[in-house]
Amino acid sequence: MGIGATAGVAAAGGIALGAQAADGSSGGSSGASGSLVFDPDAYTKLTKTITDADGADHSVTYHFWKAITYVANPVDETYQSLIVSAPVEIDGSTVDPANAPILLANSIGGYLPASVADATEVGGGGSAMGGGAAPSGAPGSTTSAAPNANGNTNATGGATSSNQLLALAAGYVVIEPGARGRTLKNSAGEYYGTAPAAIVDLKAAVRYIKANKGVIPGDVERIVSAGTSAGGALSTLLGASGDSPLYVKYLKELGAADASDAVFAVGAWCPITDLEHADGAYEWNWGTNALATGKQVDQSVSKDLKGQFAEYQAGLRLRGLAGFGPLTARNYDDYLVEQYLQPSATAYLAALSDSDRETYLASNTFITWSGGKATFTWADFLTHVGARKKDTPAFDAFDLSAGENNEFGAGTTASRHFTAYGAKNDSTGLSSRRVAADIPAKLNLMNPMYHLVEKVNDRRSKHWWIRLGTNDSDTSHVISANLAARLDNLGDDVDHLYYWDQGHGANTDPGDFITWIAEVTGYRKGKKRS
Protein backbone atom coordinates (compact mmCIF):
# COMPACT_ATOMS: atom_id res chain seq x y z
CA MET A 1 0.00 0.00 0.00
CA GLY A 2 1.02 3.57 -0.40
CA ILE A 3 3.03 5.42 2.20
CA GLY A 4 4.64 8.79 2.58
CA ALA A 5 2.11 11.23 1.11
CA THR A 6 3.57 14.73 1.11
CA ALA A 7 1.79 17.95 0.26
CA GLY A 8 3.16 20.26 -2.37
CA VAL A 9 2.32 23.92 -2.89
CA ALA A 10 -1.36 24.58 -3.57
CA ALA A 11 -2.08 25.72 -7.08
CA ALA A 12 -4.02 28.85 -7.81
CA GLY A 13 -7.66 28.57 -6.78
CA GLY A 14 -9.35 27.44 -3.62
CA ILE A 15 -10.86 24.42 -1.93
CA ALA A 16 -14.54 23.58 -1.68
CA LEU A 17 -16.54 23.19 1.53
CA GLY A 18 -14.55 25.80 3.40
CA ALA A 19 -11.40 23.69 3.70
CA GLN A 20 -7.98 25.35 3.76
CA ALA A 21 -5.32 25.23 1.09
CA ALA A 22 -2.10 23.34 1.79
CA ASP A 23 -0.33 26.55 2.83
CA GLY A 24 -2.98 27.15 5.51
CA SER A 25 -4.68 30.03 3.76
CA SER A 26 -8.41 30.04 3.25
CA GLY A 27 -9.34 29.36 -0.38
CA GLY A 28 -12.35 30.20 -2.45
CA SER A 29 -14.73 27.51 -3.62
CA SER A 30 -13.64 25.13 -6.39
CA GLY A 31 -17.10 23.60 -6.58
CA ALA A 32 -19.50 25.69 -4.60
CA SER A 33 -23.26 25.22 -4.54
CA GLY A 34 -24.87 26.65 -7.65
CA SER A 35 -21.71 26.27 -9.72
CA LEU A 36 -21.11 23.08 -11.68
CA VAL A 37 -17.94 24.30 -13.37
CA PHE A 38 -14.76 22.42 -12.47
CA ASP A 39 -11.81 24.67 -11.63
CA PRO A 40 -8.73 22.99 -13.15
CA ASP A 41 -6.37 25.17 -11.12
CA ALA A 42 -7.82 24.50 -7.66
CA TYR A 43 -5.58 21.55 -6.83
CA THR A 44 -2.93 20.64 -4.31
CA LYS A 45 0.18 18.85 -5.55
CA LEU A 46 0.89 15.66 -3.61
CA THR A 47 3.44 12.88 -3.81
CA LYS A 48 2.78 9.35 -2.63
CA THR A 49 4.71 6.08 -2.68
CA ILE A 50 2.46 3.32 -4.01
CA THR A 51 3.25 -0.38 -3.97
CA ASP A 52 1.90 -2.17 -7.03
CA ALA A 53 0.37 -5.65 -7.21
CA ASP A 54 3.81 -7.17 -7.83
CA GLY A 55 5.29 -5.53 -4.74
CA ALA A 56 7.27 -2.81 -6.52
CA ASP A 57 7.22 0.73 -5.15
CA HIS A 58 6.41 3.71 -7.36
CA SER A 59 6.68 7.41 -6.60
CA VAL A 60 3.51 9.09 -7.87
CA THR A 61 3.01 12.83 -7.99
CA TYR A 62 -0.58 13.84 -8.53
CA HIS A 63 -2.91 16.79 -8.50
CA PHE A 64 -5.60 16.53 -5.83
CA TRP A 65 -8.85 18.48 -5.75
CA LYS A 66 -10.55 18.56 -2.37
CA ALA A 67 -14.28 18.05 -2.00
CA ILE A 68 -16.27 19.61 -4.85
CA THR A 69 -20.06 19.81 -4.61
CA TYR A 70 -21.46 18.08 -7.70
CA VAL A 71 -25.05 19.41 -7.71
CA ALA A 72 -26.38 22.96 -7.80
CA ASN A 73 -29.05 22.37 -5.11
CA PRO A 74 -27.47 19.97 -2.61
CA VAL A 75 -29.48 18.47 0.21
CA ASP A 76 -26.25 17.91 2.15
CA GLU A 77 -22.88 19.00 0.73
CA THR A 78 -21.10 16.85 3.28
CA TYR A 79 -22.12 13.84 1.22
CA GLN A 80 -22.92 15.28 -2.21
CA SER A 81 -19.35 16.07 -3.14
CA LEU A 82 -16.44 14.33 -4.84
CA ILE A 83 -12.64 14.39 -4.82
CA VAL A 84 -10.36 14.12 -7.85
CA SER A 85 -6.83 12.72 -8.11
CA ALA A 86 -4.87 12.93 -11.37
CA PRO A 87 -1.29 11.65 -11.76
CA VAL A 88 1.23 13.98 -13.42
CA GLU A 89 4.49 12.17 -12.72
CA ILE A 90 5.24 8.49 -12.11
CA ASP A 91 8.76 7.39 -11.13
CA GLY A 92 10.21 10.62 -12.44
CA SER A 93 8.47 10.49 -15.83
CA THR A 94 5.83 13.05 -16.74
CA VAL A 95 2.39 11.63 -17.56
CA ASP A 96 -0.62 13.35 -19.10
CA PRO A 97 -3.88 12.18 -17.52
CA ALA A 98 -6.10 14.03 -20.01
CA ASN A 99 -7.06 10.88 -21.90
CA ALA A 100 -6.73 8.36 -19.07
CA PRO A 101 -9.62 6.18 -17.89
CA ILE A 102 -11.47 7.48 -14.83
CA LEU A 103 -11.95 5.10 -11.91
CA LEU A 104 -15.10 6.24 -10.11
CA ALA A 105 -14.63 4.50 -6.77
CA ASN A 106 -17.45 4.81 -4.25
CA SER A 107 -16.92 3.91 -0.59
CA ILE A 108 -20.52 3.04 0.20
CA GLY A 109 -21.20 0.09 2.50
CA GLY A 110 -24.44 -1.07 4.07
CA TYR A 111 -26.33 1.60 2.11
CA LEU A 112 -24.89 4.01 4.69
CA PRO A 113 -23.85 7.60 3.92
CA ALA A 114 -20.36 8.10 2.49
CA SER A 115 -18.46 11.37 2.65
CA VAL A 116 -15.25 12.73 1.13
CA ALA A 117 -15.69 16.16 2.69
CA ASP A 118 -12.61 15.84 4.90
CA ALA A 119 -10.45 13.82 2.51
CA THR A 120 -6.94 15.18 2.02
CA GLU A 121 -5.53 12.59 -0.38
CA VAL A 122 -6.50 9.81 -2.78
CA GLY A 123 -8.40 6.99 -1.08
CA GLY A 124 -9.70 9.38 1.54
CA GLY A 125 -13.42 8.61 1.27
CA GLY A 126 -15.47 6.53 3.67
CA SER A 127 -18.92 5.95 5.11
CA ALA A 128 -20.35 7.76 8.08
CA MET A 129 -19.46 4.74 10.21
CA GLY A 130 -15.95 4.46 8.79
CA GLY A 131 -14.21 2.19 6.34
CA GLY A 132 -16.94 2.34 3.76
CA ALA A 133 -19.26 -0.15 5.45
CA ALA A 134 -21.09 -0.93 8.65
CA PRO A 135 -18.67 -2.56 11.09
CA SER A 136 -19.20 -6.17 12.03
CA GLY A 137 -21.96 -6.53 14.58
CA ALA A 138 -23.35 -3.04 14.08
CA PRO A 139 -27.13 -2.66 14.04
CA GLY A 140 -28.39 -3.17 10.52
CA SER A 141 -24.95 -4.23 9.33
CA THR A 142 -24.84 -5.96 5.96
CA THR A 143 -21.14 -6.76 6.03
CA SER A 144 -18.78 -9.09 7.84
CA ALA A 145 -16.05 -6.51 8.23
CA ALA A 146 -15.34 -3.11 6.76
CA PRO A 147 -14.68 -3.32 3.04
CA ASN A 148 -14.07 -0.12 1.17
CA ALA A 149 -14.73 0.96 -2.38
CA ASN A 150 -12.12 -1.43 -3.68
CA GLY A 151 -13.38 -4.64 -2.20
CA ASN A 152 -10.56 -4.88 0.29
CA THR A 153 -11.03 -5.85 3.91
CA ASN A 154 -8.41 -5.87 6.61
CA ALA A 155 -9.21 -8.51 9.23
CA THR A 156 -8.37 -6.07 12.01
CA GLY A 157 -11.02 -3.64 10.80
CA GLY A 158 -8.82 -1.21 8.86
CA ALA A 159 -9.46 -0.90 5.15
CA THR A 160 -6.94 -0.52 2.35
CA SER A 161 -7.40 1.46 -0.82
CA SER A 162 -5.63 -0.68 -3.36
CA ASN A 163 -7.86 -0.08 -6.37
CA GLN A 164 -7.56 3.70 -6.11
CA LEU A 165 -3.83 3.59 -5.45
CA LEU A 166 -3.09 1.02 -8.13
CA ALA A 167 -5.18 2.99 -10.61
CA LEU A 168 -3.28 6.17 -9.82
CA ALA A 169 0.06 4.36 -10.22
CA ALA A 170 -1.15 3.05 -13.59
CA GLY A 171 -1.75 6.59 -14.78
CA TYR A 172 -5.54 6.62 -14.38
CA VAL A 173 -7.59 9.45 -12.93
CA VAL A 174 -9.34 8.53 -9.67
CA ILE A 175 -12.59 10.25 -8.70
CA GLU A 176 -14.25 9.36 -5.40
CA PRO A 177 -17.85 10.47 -4.88
CA GLY A 178 -19.67 10.78 -1.61
CA ALA A 179 -23.39 9.99 -1.42
CA ARG A 180 -26.27 10.21 1.00
CA GLY A 181 -27.22 7.10 2.95
CA ARG A 182 -30.09 5.54 4.84
CA THR A 183 -29.32 6.79 8.37
CA LEU A 184 -29.34 10.53 7.62
CA LYS A 185 -32.09 12.56 9.32
CA ASN A 186 -32.87 16.26 9.35
CA SER A 187 -33.92 18.32 12.37
CA ALA A 188 -37.54 17.27 11.84
CA GLY A 189 -36.57 13.62 12.10
CA GLU A 190 -37.12 12.96 8.39
CA TYR A 191 -34.87 10.53 6.57
CA TYR A 192 -33.28 12.11 3.51
CA GLY A 193 -30.78 9.46 2.46
CA THR A 194 -33.04 6.44 1.91
CA ALA A 195 -33.84 4.97 -1.52
CA PRO A 196 -33.23 6.22 -4.12
CA ALA A 197 -30.89 8.93 -2.74
CA ALA A 198 -27.59 7.06 -3.13
CA ILE A 199 -28.02 6.10 -6.78
CA VAL A 200 -29.35 9.56 -7.65
CA ASP A 201 -26.25 11.09 -6.06
CA LEU A 202 -23.89 8.79 -7.97
CA LYS A 203 -25.66 9.64 -11.21
CA ALA A 204 -25.34 13.33 -10.39
CA ALA A 205 -21.62 12.85 -9.81
CA VAL A 206 -21.24 11.22 -13.23
CA ARG A 207 -23.19 14.06 -14.83
CA TYR A 208 -20.88 16.60 -13.19
CA ILE A 209 -17.83 14.79 -14.54
CA LYS A 210 -19.23 14.57 -18.07
CA ALA A 211 -20.44 18.17 -18.06
CA ASN A 212 -16.83 19.21 -17.44
CA LYS A 213 -15.37 17.28 -20.38
CA GLY A 214 -12.07 18.78 -21.49
CA VAL A 215 -11.63 20.60 -18.19
CA ILE A 216 -11.69 17.85 -15.59
CA PRO A 217 -8.78 15.42 -16.06
CA GLY A 218 -9.46 12.04 -17.67
CA ASP A 219 -11.53 10.58 -20.49
CA VAL A 220 -15.12 11.17 -19.41
CA GLU A 221 -16.33 8.59 -21.94
CA ARG A 222 -14.26 5.91 -20.19
CA ILE A 223 -15.60 6.04 -16.63
CA VAL A 224 -15.26 2.76 -14.72
CA SER A 225 -17.48 2.60 -11.64
CA ALA A 226 -16.32 0.47 -8.70
CA GLY A 227 -17.78 -0.50 -5.32
CA THR A 228 -18.20 -3.24 -2.74
CA SER A 229 -21.24 -4.78 -1.01
CA ALA A 230 -23.99 -2.13 -1.17
CA GLY A 231 -21.44 -0.04 -3.04
CA GLY A 232 -21.05 -2.92 -5.48
CA ALA A 233 -24.81 -3.04 -5.89
CA LEU A 234 -24.91 0.70 -6.57
CA SER A 235 -21.99 0.45 -8.98
CA THR A 236 -23.90 -2.28 -10.82
CA LEU A 237 -27.07 -0.20 -10.79
CA LEU A 238 -25.18 2.81 -12.12
CA GLY A 239 -23.92 0.68 -15.00
CA ALA A 240 -27.28 -0.94 -15.72
CA SER A 241 -29.42 2.21 -15.60
CA GLY A 242 -27.35 4.72 -17.56
CA ASP A 243 -29.49 7.64 -18.76
CA SER A 244 -32.72 5.98 -17.62
CA PRO A 245 -35.57 8.51 -17.59
CA LEU A 246 -36.79 7.10 -14.26
CA TYR A 247 -34.27 9.25 -12.38
CA VAL A 248 -34.69 12.55 -14.23
CA LYS A 249 -37.08 14.19 -11.76
CA TYR A 250 -34.79 13.39 -8.83
CA LEU A 251 -31.75 14.74 -10.66
CA LYS A 252 -33.59 17.92 -11.61
CA GLU A 253 -34.54 18.51 -7.98
CA LEU A 254 -30.85 18.44 -7.06
CA GLY A 255 -29.83 20.69 -9.91
CA ALA A 256 -27.64 17.99 -11.47
CA ALA A 257 -25.68 18.88 -14.59
CA ASP A 258 -27.42 18.48 -17.95
CA ALA A 259 -25.28 15.58 -19.17
CA SER A 260 -25.27 11.81 -19.53
CA ASP A 261 -25.01 9.60 -16.44
CA ALA A 262 -24.02 6.45 -18.35
CA VAL A 263 -20.69 4.83 -17.41
CA PHE A 264 -18.43 2.75 -19.62
CA ALA A 265 -17.63 -0.19 -17.34
CA VAL A 266 -18.39 -1.61 -13.90
CA GLY A 267 -16.38 -3.26 -11.15
CA ALA A 268 -18.59 -4.86 -8.47
CA TRP A 269 -17.45 -6.88 -5.49
CA CYS A 270 -20.05 -8.95 -3.60
CA PRO A 271 -22.97 -6.77 -4.75
CA ILE A 272 -25.89 -6.75 -2.30
CA THR A 273 -28.61 -6.29 -4.88
CA ASP A 274 -31.89 -7.58 -6.36
CA LEU A 275 -33.24 -6.94 -2.87
CA GLU A 276 -36.86 -7.88 -3.47
CA HIS A 277 -35.74 -11.38 -4.47
CA ALA A 278 -32.72 -11.64 -2.18
CA ASP A 279 -34.52 -13.44 0.66
CA GLY A 280 -35.53 -16.31 -1.60
CA ALA A 281 -32.11 -16.54 -3.21
CA TYR A 282 -30.49 -16.54 0.22
CA GLU A 283 -32.62 -19.43 1.49
CA TRP A 284 -32.06 -21.43 -1.68
CA ASN A 285 -28.32 -21.04 -1.07
CA TRP A 286 -27.92 -21.16 2.70
CA GLY A 287 -31.26 -22.49 3.95
CA THR A 288 -29.83 -25.71 5.44
CA ASN A 289 -26.87 -24.00 7.12
CA ALA A 290 -27.25 -23.12 10.80
CA LEU A 291 -26.34 -19.78 12.31
CA ALA A 292 -23.01 -19.31 14.09
CA THR A 293 -24.79 -20.01 17.38
CA GLY A 294 -25.71 -23.46 16.08
CA LYS A 295 -29.37 -22.48 15.89
CA GLN A 296 -31.28 -23.63 12.81
CA VAL A 297 -33.42 -20.96 11.17
CA ASP A 298 -37.18 -21.35 10.81
CA GLN A 299 -37.39 -24.02 8.13
CA SER A 300 -41.01 -23.26 7.25
CA VAL A 301 -40.06 -19.68 6.41
CA SER A 302 -36.99 -20.92 4.57
CA LYS A 303 -39.15 -23.31 2.52
CA ASP A 304 -41.61 -20.54 1.62
CA LEU A 305 -38.80 -18.31 0.43
CA LYS A 306 -37.14 -21.09 -1.56
CA GLY A 307 -40.42 -21.58 -3.37
CA GLN A 308 -40.54 -17.88 -4.23
CA PHE A 309 -37.00 -18.09 -5.58
CA ALA A 310 -37.85 -21.05 -7.81
CA GLU A 311 -40.73 -19.11 -9.35
CA TYR A 312 -38.64 -15.99 -9.83
CA GLN A 313 -35.74 -17.89 -11.33
CA ALA A 314 -37.98 -19.66 -13.83
CA GLY A 315 -39.41 -16.31 -14.92
CA LEU A 316 -35.97 -14.86 -15.65
CA ARG A 317 -35.38 -17.41 -18.44
CA LEU A 318 -31.63 -17.13 -18.05
CA ARG A 319 -29.09 -19.36 -19.73
CA GLY A 320 -25.87 -20.18 -17.95
CA LEU A 321 -22.42 -19.28 -19.21
CA ALA A 322 -20.33 -21.69 -21.29
CA GLY A 323 -23.39 -23.29 -22.90
CA PHE A 324 -24.85 -24.58 -19.63
CA GLY A 325 -28.45 -24.07 -20.71
CA PRO A 326 -31.51 -22.81 -18.77
CA LEU A 327 -30.84 -21.90 -15.13
CA THR A 328 -33.48 -23.15 -12.70
CA ALA A 329 -33.76 -23.70 -8.97
CA ARG A 330 -33.28 -27.41 -9.65
CA ASN A 331 -29.97 -27.17 -11.47
CA TYR A 332 -28.43 -24.00 -10.09
CA ASP A 333 -26.33 -25.95 -7.59
CA ASP A 334 -24.73 -27.93 -10.42
CA TYR A 335 -24.17 -24.70 -12.34
CA LEU A 336 -22.45 -22.94 -9.46
CA VAL A 337 -20.23 -25.94 -8.76
CA GLU A 338 -19.23 -26.44 -12.40
CA GLN A 339 -18.97 -22.82 -13.54
CA TYR A 340 -17.55 -21.12 -10.46
CA LEU A 341 -16.76 -23.16 -7.36
CA GLN A 342 -14.64 -26.01 -8.73
CA PRO A 343 -12.65 -23.65 -11.00
CA SER A 344 -12.13 -21.35 -7.99
CA ALA A 345 -10.85 -24.19 -5.80
CA THR A 346 -8.70 -25.48 -8.67
CA ALA A 347 -7.04 -22.10 -9.19
CA TYR A 348 -6.42 -21.74 -5.46
CA LEU A 349 -4.92 -25.21 -5.07
CA ALA A 350 -2.84 -24.98 -8.23
CA ALA A 351 -1.18 -21.83 -6.91
CA LEU A 352 -0.05 -23.55 -3.69
CA SER A 353 3.25 -25.32 -3.25
CA ASP A 354 3.06 -29.11 -3.31
CA SER A 355 3.44 -29.33 0.46
CA ASP A 356 0.87 -26.60 1.17
CA ARG A 357 -1.58 -28.22 -1.23
CA GLU A 358 -1.13 -31.57 0.45
CA THR A 359 -1.76 -29.98 3.85
CA TYR A 360 -4.88 -28.19 2.62
CA LEU A 361 -6.33 -31.31 1.03
CA ALA A 362 -5.64 -33.32 4.17
CA SER A 363 -7.74 -30.82 6.12
CA ASN A 364 -10.46 -30.62 3.46
CA THR A 365 -11.09 -34.19 2.45
CA PHE A 366 -14.35 -33.32 0.68
CA ILE A 367 -12.23 -32.15 -2.28
CA THR A 368 -10.98 -34.70 -4.78
CA TRP A 369 -7.79 -33.49 -6.47
CA SER A 370 -7.06 -35.33 -9.68
CA GLY A 371 -5.39 -34.32 -12.91
CA GLY A 372 -4.82 -30.82 -11.56
CA LYS A 373 -8.53 -30.23 -10.94
CA ALA A 374 -10.67 -29.99 -7.82
CA THR A 375 -14.07 -31.69 -7.66
CA PHE A 376 -16.69 -31.85 -4.90
CA THR A 377 -20.45 -31.76 -4.36
CA TRP A 378 -22.68 -28.79 -3.56
CA ALA A 379 -23.70 -30.38 -0.25
CA ASP A 380 -20.08 -30.80 0.79
CA PHE A 381 -19.34 -27.22 -0.21
CA LEU A 382 -22.15 -25.93 2.04
CA THR A 383 -20.77 -27.98 4.93
CA HIS A 384 -17.31 -26.57 4.23
CA VAL A 385 -18.54 -22.96 4.44
CA GLY A 386 -20.42 -23.66 7.67
CA ALA A 387 -22.46 -21.04 9.48
CA ARG A 388 -24.71 -18.68 7.58
CA LYS A 389 -24.42 -14.98 8.41
CA LYS A 390 -28.09 -14.00 8.50
CA ASP A 391 -31.33 -15.22 10.05
CA THR A 392 -34.47 -15.52 7.98
CA PRO A 393 -35.65 -13.48 6.20
CA ALA A 394 -32.18 -12.17 5.56
CA PHE A 395 -33.10 -8.81 4.02
CA ASP A 396 -36.75 -7.92 4.65
CA ALA A 397 -36.76 -8.90 8.32
CA PHE A 398 -40.13 -9.53 9.96
CA ASP A 399 -39.09 -7.21 12.81
CA LEU A 400 -37.78 -4.52 10.43
CA SER A 401 -34.28 -4.86 11.86
CA ALA A 402 -32.32 -5.30 8.63
CA GLY A 403 -30.37 -2.45 7.13
CA GLU A 404 -32.36 -2.91 3.94
CA ASN A 405 -35.59 -2.19 5.84
CA ASN A 406 -34.04 1.15 6.78
CA GLU A 407 -32.97 1.70 3.15
CA PHE A 408 -36.67 1.79 2.24
CA GLY A 409 -37.66 4.05 5.11
CA ALA A 410 -39.47 7.29 4.27
CA GLY A 411 -40.39 10.52 6.01
CA THR A 412 -40.06 9.97 9.75
CA THR A 413 -40.51 6.21 9.40
CA ALA A 414 -37.11 4.61 9.87
CA SER A 415 -37.80 1.20 8.37
CA ARG A 416 -40.39 -0.37 6.09
CA HIS A 417 -41.11 -3.70 4.50
CA PHE A 418 -40.37 -3.95 0.79
CA THR A 419 -41.66 -7.45 0.02
CA ALA A 420 -45.22 -8.77 0.28
CA TYR A 421 -43.96 -11.74 2.31
CA GLY A 422 -42.16 -9.54 4.81
CA ALA A 423 -45.17 -7.27 5.23
CA LYS A 424 -47.61 -10.16 5.58
CA ASN A 425 -45.51 -11.69 8.37
CA ASP A 426 -44.60 -8.44 10.12
CA SER A 427 -43.89 -8.95 13.82
CA THR A 428 -43.81 -5.30 14.90
CA GLY A 429 -47.56 -4.77 15.14
CA LEU A 430 -48.10 -2.74 11.99
CA SER A 431 -51.76 -2.11 11.20
CA SER A 432 -51.21 -2.73 7.48
CA ARG A 433 -49.73 -6.00 6.26
CA ARG A 434 -49.03 -4.63 2.79
CA VAL A 435 -46.08 -2.77 1.35
CA ALA A 436 -46.54 0.96 0.93
CA ALA A 437 -47.78 2.23 -2.44
CA ASP A 438 -44.46 3.85 -3.35
CA ILE A 439 -42.34 0.73 -2.74
CA PRO A 440 -42.67 -0.96 -6.18
CA ALA A 441 -41.39 2.13 -7.99
CA LYS A 442 -38.51 2.51 -5.54
CA LEU A 443 -37.55 -1.13 -6.02
CA ASN A 444 -37.28 -0.49 -9.76
CA LEU A 445 -35.04 2.49 -9.05
CA MET A 446 -32.76 0.36 -6.87
CA ASN A 447 -32.55 -2.93 -8.78
CA PRO A 448 -30.18 -3.34 -11.75
CA MET A 449 -32.07 -6.47 -12.84
CA TYR A 450 -35.10 -4.28 -13.59
CA HIS A 451 -33.01 -2.36 -16.13
CA LEU A 452 -31.54 -5.56 -17.56
CA VAL A 453 -34.65 -7.76 -17.69
CA GLU A 454 -37.92 -5.83 -17.61
CA LYS A 455 -36.78 -2.59 -19.26
CA VAL A 456 -33.59 -3.54 -21.10
CA ASN A 457 -31.43 -0.42 -21.20
CA ASP A 458 -29.29 0.05 -24.32
CA ARG A 459 -27.33 2.78 -22.55
CA ARG A 460 -26.00 0.34 -19.99
CA SER A 461 -22.32 -0.42 -19.48
CA LYS A 462 -21.10 -3.21 -21.75
CA HIS A 463 -18.07 -4.31 -19.68
CA TRP A 464 -18.43 -5.95 -16.27
CA TRP A 465 -15.98 -7.15 -13.62
CA ILE A 466 -17.82 -9.08 -10.87
CA ARG A 467 -16.27 -10.81 -7.87
CA LEU A 468 -17.51 -12.73 -4.80
CA GLY A 469 -15.88 -14.80 -2.05
CA THR A 470 -17.00 -18.43 -1.89
CA ASN A 471 -17.42 -18.16 1.91
CA ASP A 472 -19.51 -14.99 1.68
CA SER A 473 -22.88 -15.71 3.26
CA ASP A 474 -23.85 -12.04 3.49
CA THR A 475 -25.67 -12.70 0.24
CA SER A 476 -26.50 -15.59 -2.07
CA HIS A 477 -24.07 -16.81 -4.71
CA VAL A 478 -27.04 -16.74 -7.07
CA ILE A 479 -27.26 -12.93 -7.01
CA SER A 480 -24.00 -12.21 -8.83
CA ALA A 481 -24.32 -15.36 -10.96
CA ASN A 482 -27.76 -14.25 -12.19
CA LEU A 483 -26.40 -10.81 -12.93
CA ALA A 484 -23.48 -12.27 -14.90
CA ALA A 485 -25.74 -14.66 -16.79
CA ARG A 486 -28.17 -11.93 -17.80
CA LEU A 487 -25.35 -9.66 -18.97
CA ASP A 488 -23.79 -12.52 -20.90
CA ASN A 489 -27.16 -13.36 -22.46
CA LEU A 490 -27.42 -9.72 -23.58
CA GLY A 491 -24.03 -10.00 -25.28
CA ASP A 492 -22.01 -7.92 -22.81
CA ASP A 493 -18.39 -8.56 -21.85
CA VAL A 494 -18.44 -10.26 -18.42
CA ASP A 495 -15.45 -11.23 -16.25
CA HIS A 496 -16.95 -13.02 -13.25
CA LEU A 497 -15.29 -15.33 -10.78
CA TYR A 498 -15.36 -16.34 -7.12
CA TYR A 499 -12.44 -16.14 -4.67
CA TRP A 500 -11.92 -19.47 -2.96
CA ASP A 501 -12.30 -19.48 0.84
CA GLN A 502 -12.71 -15.70 0.92
CA GLY A 503 -15.45 -13.83 2.75
CA HIS A 504 -17.39 -10.63 2.22
CA GLY A 505 -15.45 -7.75 0.70
CA ALA A 506 -12.52 -9.78 -0.60
CA ASN A 507 -10.44 -8.52 -3.52
CA THR A 508 -7.55 -10.88 -4.17
CA ASP A 509 -6.74 -9.79 -7.73
CA PRO A 510 -6.69 -5.96 -7.71
CA GLY A 511 -3.78 -5.85 -10.14
CA ASP A 512 -5.81 -7.84 -12.65
CA PHE A 513 -8.67 -5.37 -12.31
CA ILE A 514 -6.36 -2.47 -13.15
CA THR A 515 -5.06 -4.37 -16.19
CA TRP A 516 -8.65 -5.16 -17.21
CA ILE A 517 -9.50 -1.45 -17.19
CA ALA A 518 -6.70 -0.76 -19.65
CA GLU A 519 -7.85 -3.62 -21.86
CA VAL A 520 -11.54 -2.70 -22.06
CA THR A 521 -10.92 1.05 -22.41
CA GLY A 522 -8.12 0.62 -24.94
CA TYR A 523 -5.85 2.83 -22.84
CA ARG A 524 -2.11 3.07 -23.32
CA LYS A 525 -0.36 5.36 -20.90
CA GLY A 526 0.21 8.79 -22.37
CA LYS A 527 -1.54 8.00 -25.66
CA LYS A 528 -4.96 8.96 -26.92
CA ARG A 529 -7.62 6.32 -27.41
CA SER A 530 -7.98 5.41 -31.09
Residue 425 lies in a domain: no
Residue 196 lies in a domain: yes
Is 266 found in the same domain as 348? no
Q: What is the domain-level CATH number for residue 90?
A: 3.40.50.1820
Has residue 15 got a pLDDT over 60?
no
Nearest residue to 400 via CA among 381, 380, 425, 376:
425
CA distance 266 to 465: 6
pLDDT score, position 34: 53
Residue 211 lies in a domain: yes
Is 363 found in the same domain as 227? no
Per-residue pLDDT averaged across 1-10, rounded? 30
Has residue 236 got a pLDDT over 70?
yes
Domain count of the fold of the chain: 2
Has residue 157 got a pLDDT over 60?
no
Residue 66 lies in a domain: yes
3-state secondary structure of 370: strand
pLDDT score, position 35: 82
Is 266 found in the same domain as 121? yes
Is 357 found in the same domain as 267? no
Distances (CA, A) of 55 to 1, 51, 77, 438: 9, 6, 38, 51
pLDDT score, position 337: 98
Residues 129/36/61/26 CA torsion (nearest 10 deg): -80
Contact 521, 264 (CB under 8 A): yes
In the predicted model, what is the mean pLDDT of the chain? 88
* Crossing angle (nearest 10°) for helices 275-286 and 439-446: 70
Is 341 found in the same domain as 263? no
Per-residue pLDDT tens digits for 372-388: 999 999 999 999 999 99
Per-residue pLDDT tens digits for 285-306: 999 999 999 999 999 999 999 9
Residue 96 lies in a domain: yes
pLDDT score, position 127: 63
Has residue 38 got a pLDDT over 90?
yes
Has residue 126 got a pLDDT over 80?
no
pLDDT score, position 128: 53
3-state secondary structure of 226: strand
Per-residue pLDDT tens digits for 390-439: 999 999 999 999 999 999 999 999 999 999 999 999 999 999 899 999 99
Is 219 found in the same domain as 364? no
Has residue 11 got a pLDDT over 90?
no
Q: Last residue of some domain: 321, 353, 386?
A: 386
Backbone angles phi, psi at 121, to 5 degrees: -160, 170
Is 230 found in the same domain as 132? yes
More confident residue, 3 or 480: 480
Is 231 found in the same domain as 133? yes
Per-residue pLDDT tens digits for 59-118: 999 999 999 999 999 999 999 999 999 999 999 999 999 999 999 999 999 999 999 999
Residues ≥6 apart with Cβ < 8 Å to 322: 339
Is 266 found in the same domain as 353? no
Q: Last residue of some domain: 350, 370, 386?
A: 386
Residue 314 lies in a domain: no
Residue 288 lies in a domain: no
Residues ≥6 apart with Cβ < 8 Å to 179: 79, 80, 106, 108, 113, 114, 197, 198, 201, 202, 205, 234
Has residue 148 got a pLDDT over 60?
no
Give the CA angle between residues 330, 331, 332 to the nearest 5°.
105
Report cis status (omega within 30 of 0) of the bond before 393: yes
Is 352 found in the same domain as 209? no
Domain with 66 in it: 3-273+507-521
Per-residue pLDDT tens digits for 178-189: 999 999 999 999
Distances (CA, A) of 317 to 184, 482, 485: 39, 10, 10
Lowest mean pLDDT among 108-117, 140-149, 313-322, 376-385: 140-149
pLDDT score, position 162: 84
Is 257 found in the same domain as 363? no
Confidence of residue 124 (pLDDT cuts 50, 70, 90): confident
Has residue 490 got a pLDDT over 50?
yes
Q: Last residue of some domain: 345, 370, 386?
A: 386
pLDDT score, position 161: 57
Is 177 found in the same domain as 45? yes
Confidence of residue 524 (pLDDT cuts 50, 70, 90): confident
Residue 267 lies in a domain: yes
